A and B are shown apart, each in its own frame.
Chain A
Amino acid sequence: MRYLLILALASVVFAQRPVSFNRDIRPIMADTCFRCHGPDAGTRMANLRLDLRDEATKANRAGRTPIVPGKPEESQIVARVFHTNPARVMPPPSAHKELGEKQKETIRRWVAEGARYEGHWAYEPIRKQAGASIDSLVEARLKEEGLSLSAEADKRTLLRRVTLDLTGLPPTAAEVNAFLADTSASAYEKTVDRLLSSQAHAEKMTMHWLDAVRYADTSGFHGDNLYPSWPYRDYVLKSFLDNKRFDVFTREQLAGDLLPNATTEQKIAAAFNRLNRTSAEGGLQPKEYLAKYGADRVRTVSAVWLGATLGCAECHDHKFDPLTSRDFYSMKAFFADIKETGLVPDRGARAWGSVMRLGTEAQQGQLAQIDARIAALRQQIENQQAAAPELLKAYEAGELAWKVQRPLTAASRNGAALKIYNEEEVDSMPYVGGIIRSFRGPGKGLIVASGPNPDNETYTITIRPAAGRYTALGLEVVQDEGNPGNGVARGADRLAVTEVEAYLGRKRLDFSLATSNVADPTWEQPAMSAIDGDSATAWGVVTYGENKNPFLALRLRQPLVLTGQETLRVEIRHDSVYRKATIGRMRLAMSTGTYGWPEGTDITEQRNKDGKNPGGLPVEVVKALRGEKDADAKALARYLAWMRGETMELARHEQQRYYLEAAIPKVLLTERVEPETVRILPRGNFLDETGAVVEPAIPARFGKLNTAGRATRLDLANWIVAQDNPLTPRVQVNRMWRMLFGVGLSKVLDDIGSQGELPVNPDLLDYLAAEFQSDWDLRRLVKQIVMSRTYRQSSQATKQAAEKDPDNRLLSHQSRTRVDAEVVHDIALSAAGLLKPRFGGPSVRPYQPEGYLGALNFPKRDYSASRGAELYARGLYTQWQRTFLHPSLMTFDAPSREECTVNRVNSNTPLQALVLLNDPIYVEAARVFAQKMLAEGGKTIEEQIDWAYLRTVARPATAEEKAILKELHGKNLARFRADAKAARQLLTVGDAPLTVKAKPEELAAAATVTRAILNLHEAITRN
């Protein structure tokens, strides 16, 4: 503050411009006058207020007037501050706040110029400044301090800076060389234009915007499950790519659904309103959570567009800004028309409330066709006469029960240890009745996988069924807490059995139908996928603490007659893209009659407790057979059709439908309903319903909306981007400034209220805000800034600048900043040649340490890294798990996005070093980088180091740097020569193939060089 004071002061001396109350006078008064002559009545002296013009210009009882505008000689404050008598001078010596001569002179001049007061700077109208420019305004300010702009940065630095700032990627070697070669005056501008029109630029802009709108892929509370949000992210990407006007962009997000003839794109934009965290915790108080959701929207909108901390007014009037509790709840009322519930289901058919499906017309057509076919087939089946007296007999005789097998052998292809527990005792920890139980008992044919846990695995199990005529094979997946994937799989968030095959000798048995006891498309992938011969489809189960074990029943096309001597070999394949989605515990069973589902918790307990149900038929079928009065006749008809094999076609159609539906993207939808009543909650207490009812309204300080009826979100959006709203453009310009300089012109980005920071250069902020408000063209704004000399300066501070302005707020040079988390990732992958470009699409899952999601539940789950190109997508596309954000992103200060974040912190911790050194993606990047370096980087190690440096930091290495890296290379080459196994281990980190024919020890040694380069501070610094 004192610092600003000096600046304010200096400005009067150097610049021949009128004194500004906010810039020049308020800081002086706040420091020296208001304590006794300000708003606080408790400490006021002489009944005098200087913070209000009306008060300060009134004569006191003695007839003396503190301020007579335009007449300093008649003004008491001027007389008193210049007074030489210690008993009369202001501030009094006892206050230890002596005014300097320049400050006194400023006060005098201000009075002389008319003593114009100004309101809080951010709420004042934006001052247009014709003829100004960024550089002239910055220079004017610097001049006041005796500083000046620095020279332009060298070309390499400038290119890397502007490329990182605009795209979040380092320049390629070709781009560096082309820029160096282009000596034309327009070289830089051409580069800027190229960057601004790139998809990468849209991605960079999106990255920042997503922080602000608290975009994530999961719901954030309780189970923190995945919710459908990425099409909104793609909307943002596309908007930035198209350089959509910011006012349109604003309207679409707040109220896209309310626009006349709203397009799909506009409706997707409105998903913004649904990006708040939601909870599905049983026993939550709906009103409490509705209050949370509403408050989140108020906080987000006010921070993102208005730079206001309106959230502070949830419980009480704002302490510092003219915002009241009424303002808070009136703002909340704008969003009262959004359809939602306190408990937002996070799975099943009703998951996430209103959701929009984004199928193409072709997809919708196919779906309609298939649905019609399914309905017809169902009807056909259910309308059949159903009677089967012999079935009941067989059932009651116990002939239908599943015969649990005692395996002879169990082996795995890729290393998992399979152990058979026939009569041997085994420890179990299943979830029963919502509680983890623990017991020990005979396994009864249980097979347990343990030890090595490969991503894909095939189990081969042999059994020798007793003599009989078999119609089906059953696979029971036994849930246990020891299995991180939903209690059933050894990893991932699901089980994925791509195929089950059975062999009698060499003869492969043919299955005609697969069904499961889960039988719900929102809980499983279709059972038919296990016998369709397609490894891209899988029977995948998400059980979530179900008390029954998932059971897959496979009908044999031809009954299998066995003598009791034959050995049956069963192969269970897990070839899915999901890693470790492999069965943890299982049993096999055979059916001699037909089959139904085990009714107990597992197949060894098929009988009901009363012993009346010998197993093998669903309860509702038994009821129908027994003619019980609440029986469902259709259940029997369905069952009989199934027995006769008539449901095969239905099952195939249902499978087809599943994949068709799964391919349709979905997004959270803002659905408008009759608005809920919104009351002021006294002290934010949701139980207190005594507060006044409020209607939607903007904060009273900013006036009233003139609407015919109840104001809508669209009215709010229109006000936010109205030409007389001074907040939005200032806030947005300030945020853009931060993106390009590391610090905003006012450094508190989420609060331009009185507790924020007066901009270091208010004229500059206003100049840019006015320009921006005139066309809402973000790309033009960004170009204007990056074309300025201010932006293009060197980051090197002069000694003088370092002393006078150590934080470089006046911009006498550019600044060095560590790049954002996603960019740290993208630089490494880009330099290595590992980055796979894409533009939008579902979020991706980079490698993540095993067990990282161990503290999550509902469902219990692990993480399955993506495969192929998705592993190497830009950091921006990472699946954003709010309660457990990817640890490498988090370590580099990416926010969890549980809340709106407009000002990322930028820390430096040892954990960051561990990430860059040891996270497999960075090790893989170093390895792939080395492969490329050996293939393309020249013959000598010196050339190679230059090549790698150029790709990483846009410059060749110095001789000294080469010497350091050569030494490292030499030492490690010797080590790897002595230990070939170590070399191979290092080279197999990550999924990317090994593509050069170098010797392993040479490649590994080269990888230690590239790894060092990727760990350079310079690599992750934008200079």
Chain B
Amino acid sequence: MQEVNWKRRTFLTRSCAGFGLAALGRLMGASGLHHAAKAKRVIFLYQAGGPSHLETFDSKPELARMHGKPMPESFTKGQQIAQLQGKPLICYGPQQKFKRFGKSGQEMCELFPEMGSVADELCIVRSMWTEQINHDPAHTIMNTGSIITGRPSMGSWITYGLGAETEDLPGFVVMMSSGKGGQNQPVAMRQWSAGMLPSKYQGVKFNSVGDPVLYVQNPPGVSRDMQKDSIDAVNRLNQRQQALIEDPEIQTPIAQYEMAFRMQASVPELVDMSKEPASVLEMYGAKPGDGSFASNCLLARRLAERGVRFIQLYHRDWDHHGGVKDGIAAKAQEVDRPTAALIRDLKQRGMLDETLIVWGGEFGRTPMSQGGDGRDHHIKGFSYVMAGGGIKGGITYGATDDLGYAAVENPVSVHDFHATMLHLLGVNHLRMTVKHQGLDVRLTGVSGEVVKPLLA
């Protein structure tokens, strides 16, 4: 606890300008964390579009036997259906083979050999469920714990509560990549919004096209020296004005201009991967500047090293209404190696223990076929994978029924997941609240329990 906390404390004594610095004692009480933290930060590898659990981490031999037969009505009656509304519901067997990996014998789809090679670090949760069956609201609940627009995202909550360990970078960074073999569903900016929390806790998006952070580059023709002199002049003018009108508020913009200037150096340095050894690039499968999931994973490690608190990588095209077999293979190729590389790399650097890695999307996919070769959206059961940061590795937790329809053994709700994540960060989800419209709003809404068996 001491270790996690000391850096934060140094910030508490500094100006509260900048982003990502903690909400002081208001939120957590003067004592800092609610309990000893296992994880200092989160890297959330968000697989957007809804990865099929049936071709990734949830093996369902019974579904294979039922392939082509009508889905028993006992499973589906009265349940929400997305694009299959009014269509016949036919069982669709798993399209890829599974095998066991590691000492722990974790059962995973064989398309994920690299993740398999770190299987003993992985905790596979096969019993996730959510409430929302369309992408946008499902992202919203996964990110904010609510479907009401305007609630803070988990990254904002965590940065608000814990601050960041950097003054040159935002505390909450979002990156996005897409590949092939699926449909690129849109992801709205509100998914990393700070909601009713102060804007400085909003996720800052890092881009692979153009400026890595919007407007971080000087205008054409303006050198760094020139920029520095301009900012110095602006700050001197502002200082002068402050002396004149005794406006304490002016201190804030002065600090902001200084931080902006520091960011203009730290961001390009951060995204410049040219100094990474070839072996590291190779391990991730990253080509600097290609904006791929692999490059983003490597950037995530660099952000983690520099003290960023919450790093969220969206990889966008898991929406397999059709062509799930080939589609999953394409996606696996894109994410398997970098995900495993990130885990290994952090472990090598002694950072895995303090970094919670989460891998998963907004929902899963139906055991029923859509159009003969695809799967529709599905909310009753899907899989998540976690590693590091106080998570027990080498275990599979919870289960869906024989056909992979509903989480029946140890179901984990989105709120349970959030509660567990916050717990690992030293935060009691029941106590991290803000007043809004008279309510004590929290990330976990009115439910959520820490899933203790997942904890190391």
Question: A-side interface residues toward B, CB under 8 Å?
Answer: 221-224, 279, 281-285, 309, 311-312, 319-320, 429, 433-438, 481, 687, 750-751, 753-755, 795-797, 816, 849-852, 854-858, 860, 882-885, 887-888, 890, 893, 896, 898-899, 905, 907-915, 917-920, 923, 958, 960-961, 964-965, 967-968, 971-972, 975, 981-989, 1004, 1008, 1011-1012, 1015-1018, 1023
Minimum CB distance partner of A986 in chain B: B221
Report yes or no: B438 in contact with A319, Cβ–Cβ below 8 A: yes
Report yes or no: B136 in contact with A279, Cβ–Cβ below 8 A: yes
Report yes or no: A436 in contact with B180, Cβ–Cβ below 8 A: yes
A-B interface, 9 closest residue pairs, ranked by CB to CB distance from nearest: A755-B438, A986-B221, A985-B221, A283-B83, A283-B82, A883-B188, A913-B260, A851-B209, A985-B220
Report yes or no: B222 in contact with A986, Cβ–Cβ below 8 A: yes
- Which stretch from B62-70, B153-161, B246-254, B405-413 is at the chain A interface? B246-254
Pick 25 A–B contacts, CB within 8 A, sort by A. A223-B186, A283-B85, A435-B323, A436-B179, A436-B317, A751-B437, A795-B245, A851-B209, A854-B209, A857-B186, A858-B186, A882-B188, A899-B149, A908-B253, A908-B256, A909-B200, A915-B215, A917-B218, A918-B217, A920-B219, A975-B226, A1008-B226, A1011-B230, A1012-B237, A1017-B238
Report yes or no: B229 in contact with A968, Cβ–Cβ below 8 A: yes
Report yes or no: B214 in contact with A972, Cβ–Cβ below 8 A: no
Q: In the complex, which residues of chain B have a beta carbon less than 8 angstroms from the beta carbon of A910?
A: 17-19, 256-257, 259-260, 263
The CA of A425 and the CA of B20, in the complex, are separated in Å by: 48
Residue B439, interface by CB 8 Å? yes
Report yes or no: A923 in contact with B219, Cβ–Cβ below 8 A: yes
Q: Which of B188, B216, B247 has the most CB of A within 10 A?
A: B188
Partner of A972, one of B185, B226, B234, B256: B226
B residues 247-274 touching A (CB-CB < 8 Å): 247, 249-250, 252-253, 256-257, 259-260, 263-264
Residue B105, interface by CB 8 Å? no
Minimum CB distance partner of B247 in chain A: A816
Binary A-proximity of B196-235 (CB < 8 A = 1, otherwise 0)? 0011100010010111011111111111011101110110
Minimum CB distance partner of A898 in chain B: B149
Binary A-proximity of B143-181 (CB < 8 A = 1, otherwise 0)? 000001110000000000000000000000000100111
Report yes or no: B188 in contact with A914, Cβ–Cβ below 8 A: no
The CA of A905 and the CA of B215, in the complex, are separated in Å by: 22
Residue B321, interface by CB 8 Å? yes
The CA of A1018 and the CA of B234, in the complex, are separated in Å by: 10
**Min CB–CB distance B347 → chain A (angstroms):** 31
Beyond A896-B189, A989-B220, 12 additional contacts (C-beta under 8 Å) are A905-B199, A908-B256, A910-B257, A910-B259, A912-B256, A913-B256, A961-B240, A964-B233, A972-B226, A982-B221, A1012-B237, A1018-B241
The secondary structure that dominates the B interface is loop
Report yes or no: A850 in contact with B210, Cβ–Cβ below 8 A: yes
Q: In the complex, which residues of chain B have a beta carbon less than 8 angstroms from the beta carbon of A882?
A: 188
Report yes or no: A438 in contact with B225, Cβ–Cβ below 8 A: no
Q: In the complex, which residues of chain A have a beta carbon less than 8 angstroms from the beta carbon of B264?
A: 914
Known: A436-B317, A908-B17, A986-B222. A852 touches B184 (CB 8 A): no
Residue B60, interface by CB 8 Å? no
Residue B385, interface by CB 8 Å? no
Q: In the complex, which residues of chain A have a beta carbon less than 8 angstroms from the beta carbon of B320?
A: 435
Q: In the complex, which residues of chain B have a beta carbon less than 8 angstroms from the beta carbon of A283?
A: 82-85, 133-134, 376-377
Contact-residue size bin, chain B (C-beta under 8 Å from the other chain):
35 or more
Interchain pairs with CB closer than 8 A, number: 249
The CA of A975 and the CA of B221, in the complex, are separated in Å by: 10
Partner of A279, one of B134, B149, B190: B134
Binary A-proximity of B319-333 (CB < 8 A = 1, otherwise 0)? 011110001001000
Q: Which of B226, B240, B320 has the most CB of A within 10 A?
A: B226
Known: A285-B133, A985-B221, A986-B221. A857 touches B182 (CB 8 A): no
Q: In the complex, which residues of chain B have a beta carbon less than 8 angstroms from the beta carbon of A986?
A: 219-222
Report yes or no: A284 in contact with B198, Cβ–Cβ below 8 A: no
The CA of A681 and the CA of B230, in the complex, are separated in Å by: 59
Q: In the complex, which residues of chain A have a beta carbon less than 8 angstroms from the beta carbon of B223?
A: 975, 982
Known: A222-B135, A908-B256. A896 touches B245 (CB 8 A): no
Report yes or no: A914 in contact with B19, Cβ–Cβ below 8 A: no
Q: In the complex, which residues of chain A have a beta carbon less than 8 angstroms from the beta carbon of B240?
A: 958, 960-961, 964
The CA of A156 and the CA of B354, in the complex, are separated in Å by: 57
Known: A751-B438, A917-B260. A1017 touches B250 (CB 8 A): yes
Q: In the complex, which residues of chain B have a beta carbon less than 8 angstroms from the beta carbon of A883?
A: 186, 188-190
Minimum CB distance partner of A816 in chain B: B247
Q: In the complex, which residues of chain A have a beta carbon less than 8 angstroms from the beta carbon of B211?
A: 849
Q: Which of B217, B220, B316 has the most CB of A within 10 A?
A: B220
The CA of A883 and the CA of B149, in the complex, are separated in Å by: 11
Minimum CB distance partner of B249 in chain A: A816
Known: A849-B210, A923-B219. A434 touches B183 (CB 8 A): yes
Report yes or no: B198 in contact with A905, Cβ–Cβ below 8 A: yes
**Min CB–CB distance B289 → chain A (angstroms):** 13
Q: Which of A687, A1008, A1023 has the most CB of B within 10 A?
A: A1008
Report yes or no: B209 in contact with A855, Cβ–Cβ below 8 A: no
Report yes or no: A282 in contact with B83, Cβ–Cβ below 8 A: yes
Report yes or no: B238 in contact with A852, Cβ–Cβ below 8 A: no
Report yes or no: B237 in contact with A1016, Cβ–Cβ below 8 A: yes
Partner of A907, one of B83, B176, B200, B330: B200
Minimum CB distance partner of B80 in chain A: A285
**Min CB–CB distance B282 → chain A (angstroms):** 21
Residue B187, interface by CB 8 Å? yes
The CA of A899 and the CA of B231, in the complex, are separated in Å by: 36
Known: A312-B437, A436-B317. A796 touches B245 (CB 8 A): yes
Q: Which of A279, A434, A893 has the most CB of B within 10 A?
A: A434
Q: In the complex, which residues of chain B have a beta carbon less than 8 angstroms from the beta carbon of A433?
A: 322-323
Q: In the complex, which residues of chain B have a beta carbon less than 8 angstroms from the beta carbon of A887?
A: 214-215
Partner of B246, one of A754, A796, A964, A972: A796
Minimum CB distance partner of A1011 in chain B: B230
Minimum CB distance partner of A908 in chain B: B252
Residue B236, interface by CB 8 Å? yes
Q: In the complex, which residues of chain A have a beta carbon less than 8 angstroms from the beta carbon of B234?
A: 1012, 1015-1016
Partner of A434, one of B179, B221, B322: B322
Partner of A917, one of B135, B227, B250: B227
Minimum CB distance partner of A923 in chain B: B219
Q: In the complex, which residues of chain B have a beta carbon less than 8 angstroms from the beta carbon of A222?
A: 134-136, 186
The CA of A23 and the CA of B58, in the complex, are separated in Å by: 62
**Min CB–CB distance A818 → chain B (angstroms):** 8
**Min CB–CB distance B181 → chain A (angstroms):** 6
Q: In the complex, which residues of chain A have a beta carbon less than 8 angstroms from the beta carbon of B181?
A: 435-438
The CA of A853 and the CA of B90, in the complex, are separated in Å by: 38
The CA of A1008 and the CA of B438, in the complex, are separated in Å by: 48
Report yes or no: B322 in contact with A855, Cβ–Cβ below 8 A: no
**Min CB–CB distance A1020 → chain B (angstroms):** 9
